[in-house]
Chain A
Amino acid sequence: MRILVIDDDEQMRVLLRQVMEWSGYTVIDAENGRKGMQLQREQPVDLVITDLIMPEQEGLETISILKKEFPEVKIVAISGGGRIGPEAYLPAARELGADLVFSKPFDVKKFVTAVRGLLDHD
């Protein structure tokens, strides 16, 4: 199973890559939505993890484009923290097609379990 991680924070990318690789998945990552879509089009993945609060609202845009071009792909959205950040982004992400939404800081174990749940359903 292949996973694409999109986040502008390098340390976050490193963390997510490690966590998912140790859970047995193949991981590719990109630092923004545009590069992420490039990678996806070259070789589609099974699940995309994307941050929402990136410059130019790329997170939501990416989800929207992904759902249009790759309706089968599973999407996990992570958003900048607790109850901070424009309240509308989380429900908006769901509307646009995200399967799971996590707010930072989240428990890594729970995160992995949830992702597993999504992918194992197939």
Chain B
Amino acid sequence: MTDHKALVVDNSPVILKIVSNILEEAGCTVQTAGDGLEALDMLMEFPPDIIFTDLVMPKIDGAKLSHIIRHTPGYEHIFLVVLSGIALEDDMNVLELGADVCIAKGPAATMKKHILAALHRFESGRRGSTQIEGLQGLFPREVTSELLVNKRHNEVIFERMTEGALELDGFGRIVRANPVCCKLFTSSEAEILGTGLIDLLPEDNRLPFYCWIDNLTVTDHQPLVFDYAAPVPLHDRQVTFNLVPIFEDDRLSIIGIMKDVTDRKEMDIRKEQLEKELQRIGKLDAMATMASGIAHDFNNLLTIINGNVEMARILSLDEKVQQLLVETGKALQLTNGLIRRFSTFSDNYLPSKSLVCVDELLSGLLENELSGTDIEFELTADEQLPCADLDADLMAQVFQNILLNALEAMKGKGRLTVDLTEVDGRKENKRIKQPMPDGKFLRISIRDTGGGIDEKVIERVFDAYFSTKQKGTQKGMGLGLTIAHAIVKKHGGVLRLDSSPGAGCIATIYLPVGRRVENNDGVPSAGDQRRILIMDDDELMQIIFAKMFEQFNCRVTTTGNGEQAIHEFKTGLKSGHPYDLVLLDLQVEKGMGGVETAQQLHNLSSQSSLVAMGEDGGDEVMLNFHDYHFVTGVEKPFSIDTVESLLNTYARKVTE
């Protein structure tokens, strides 16, 4: 026989010796390996023509080894002989291994016969086997069968787990890896087996792993955990590791579980952002309340001061005194202006809106502020840019504030790029990964080439009176962005600032898109108006409430008692224009009150939303409004914000 190279793999030294001898006698050059891992190592230095392998071995077992041989380019041609001690009980699996010959381990003489027969087959070039040799005279062992069943089940679990699972030998080399584990390391199983885990870990995790594995002893061995707080970055995923050392006698193996927590981490970041956003809104709300109160008090006092100073000026004959009063007057003017700025983010403040072409507004502003300076500017806009429904004066303030900041940052030289486009809220939400309301928006981006804003600072830029400039004589410094933010918010939009030091700043404003009304020069037709029915026995209240709803372009009908309200309601139903919202006073002195009226209206139609108006929020009806057919209860007197909220919640406009 010609000189064949054979590799014998078996964890039993006895079998190794026996088989080696048989083969050497037959003229082969033989190498041995004690397990699948050793075998793989040897394959590289000593590529054999035939492999004789056991199945049940520690580290990488025979089945795995066979699989690798059959599926690795360069090794497929190797003649594979499986020598199995469990062939009888495991017959199905054995034949599936793709081996060329399967021999059941048995008495030495029989084995020798089969081994030599296998060599013959190799030489004659017959590949593939359909039966197991040497089964005669053997009896199935029950324990083996049961263990094999258990093993198969465990293998299914191992293969199908959604976590990554791996096993390392005492030197940290991977001897088992399930599909998820391979995916996380973006390697195939064949590539990964035999590699040291340390080589697959990122830099920062290597030293801890090395120290840990180096210090493991039989008496002192704790698991190594890279947990959720500090997961291991593998390619673009965040992965937690739980590595458990197991000592069998003093042989070490390590079982590891890996979990991809990237999505959870991302959700945490989103949550954090939402919370910050909520906090910011809360802060602004608190400020609005305070601003309201301050401004109100100050206005009263300012009137008095103004008036008295004016009179003193009229009365005084002394020139010096006159001078002093003139100066006082100037300071008062500034105070008036400052207090007026506070009013922009107060609760009760309403922008007076109209359809505006933002691109025209902006290009006008840019021309005014920037032509004649060393700042280059450019404005790009979508072809069919929709108009926005906004208060032109207020938005001009917003843009001016932003321009001013940009100018300061660019220190007189640079480039300002403005872009206008229409976007969809939900898509934008996905793109920028920041909270955005649904709906169509006009997106205005203003980019400057200034010095940019530091990360720590950028969180605070919207805070009132926060400024990175030196505190100087200019009053109300640090309010610019706060006011801009409040104005944009009042319009139902979003204002964002993004920047990094040295990369300039981008201010992005999102404004809800207004309707493009083709007829009646901007006046919406009656069909678009929401219809409101108010029942209150106080005429004053009727007038006030009507005025408030009319601010939102509603058609209001007022009545003084329940009977009138029911009459109007019926008329509305008959004419095909039912009321969208009905407000009913609970305390009516003459005539039917709110509760009874609500009952009757509900019987006529349950389409309209009924709102209870009461003086006392603790009143039974106000607390359990639902039981009385109301959608909610409001305390009198209520503010225009309540009106807005009622309309948005219970009487949504039909979308265009």
- Given the known interface contacts A84-B295, A92-B544, the answer about A105 and B640 at a Cβ–Cβ threshold of 8 Å is no
Pick the contact of A92: B543, B639, B640 (CB < 8 A). Answer: B543
- Given the known interface contacts A15-B304, A88-B640, the answer about A83 and B343 at a Cβ–Cβ threshold of 8 Å is yes
* 8 Å CB interface, B626-654 against A: 637, 639-640
| Whole-angstrom CA separation of A53 from B545 in the bound complex | 16
Q: Is B355 among interface residues, defined by CB-CB distance under 8 A?
A: no
Pick the contact of A87: B301, B310, B551 (CB < 8 A). Answer: B551
| Whole-angstrom CA separation of A82 from B518 in the bound complex | 35
| Whole-angstrom CA separation of A9 from B545 in the bound complex | 27
| Whole-angstrom CA separation of A96 from B547 in the bound complex | 12
**A87→B640 contact, CB < 8 A:** yes
Q: Is A25 among interface residues, defined by CB-CB distance under 8 A?
A: no
Q: How far is the CB of A93 from chain B (nearest CB, A)?
A: 10
Q: Is A61 among interface residues, defined by CB-CB distance under 8 A?
A: yes
Q: Across the interface, which residues of B come within 8 angstroms of A60, CB to CB?
A: 540, 544
Q: Across the interface, which residues of B come within 8 angstroms of A40, CB to CB?
A: none
- Given the known interface contacts A11-B304, A87-B548, A108-B311, the answer about A82 and B348 at a Cβ–Cβ threshold of 8 Å is no
- Chain B residue at smallest Cβ distance from A60: B540
* Number of interchain pairs (Cβ within 8 Å): 100
Interface of A is mostly: helix
**B548→A109 contact, CB < 8 A:** no
Interface of B is mostly: helix
| Whole-angstrom CA separation of A81 from B295 in the bound complex | 7
Interface size class for chain B? Answer: 35 or more
Task: Please encode chain A, from 71 to 86, with 1 for each CB lying within 8 Å of some chain B CB and 0 for all others.
Answer: 0000000001111111
* 8 Å CB interface, A1-50 against B: 9, 11-12, 15-16, 18-19, 22
| Whole-angstrom CA separation of A92 from B548 in the bound complex | 10
Instruction: Give the most central of A16, A80, A88: most B CB within 10 Å.
Output: A88
Q: Across the interface, which residues of B come within 8 angstroms of A107, CB to CB?
A: 306, 310
- Given the known interface contacts A82-B299, A92-B543, the answer about A18 and B304 at a Cβ–Cβ threshold of 8 Å is no
Pick the contact of B303: A15, A64, A83, A95 (CB < 8 A). Answer: A15
Q: Across the interface, which residues of B come within 8 angstroms of A57, CB to CB?
A: 540, 637
**A89→B310 contact, CB < 8 A:** no
- Chain A residue at smallest Cβ distance from B350: A87
* 8 Å CB interface, B379-402 against A: none
Q: Is B539 among interface residues, defined by CB-CB distance under 8 A?
A: yes
| Whole-angstrom CA separation of A11 from B637 in the bound complex | 27
**A108→B551 contact, CB < 8 A:** no
Task: Please encode chain B, from 227 to 259, with 1 for each CB lying within 8 Å of some chain A CB and 0 for all others.
Answer: 000000000000000000000000000000000
Binding site for A on B (CB under 8 A): 292, 295-296, 298-304, 306-308, 310-311, 314, 336, 339-340, 343, 346, 348-350, 539-540, 543-545, 547-548, 551, 637, 639-640
List of 8 A-B pairs having minimum Cβ-Cβ separation, nearest first: A81-B299, A88-B547, A105-B302, A104-B299, A108-B307, A105-B303, A15-B307, A104-B303
Binding site for B on A (CB under 8 A): 9, 11-12, 15-16, 18-19, 22, 53, 57, 60-61, 64, 80-89, 91-92, 95-96, 104-109
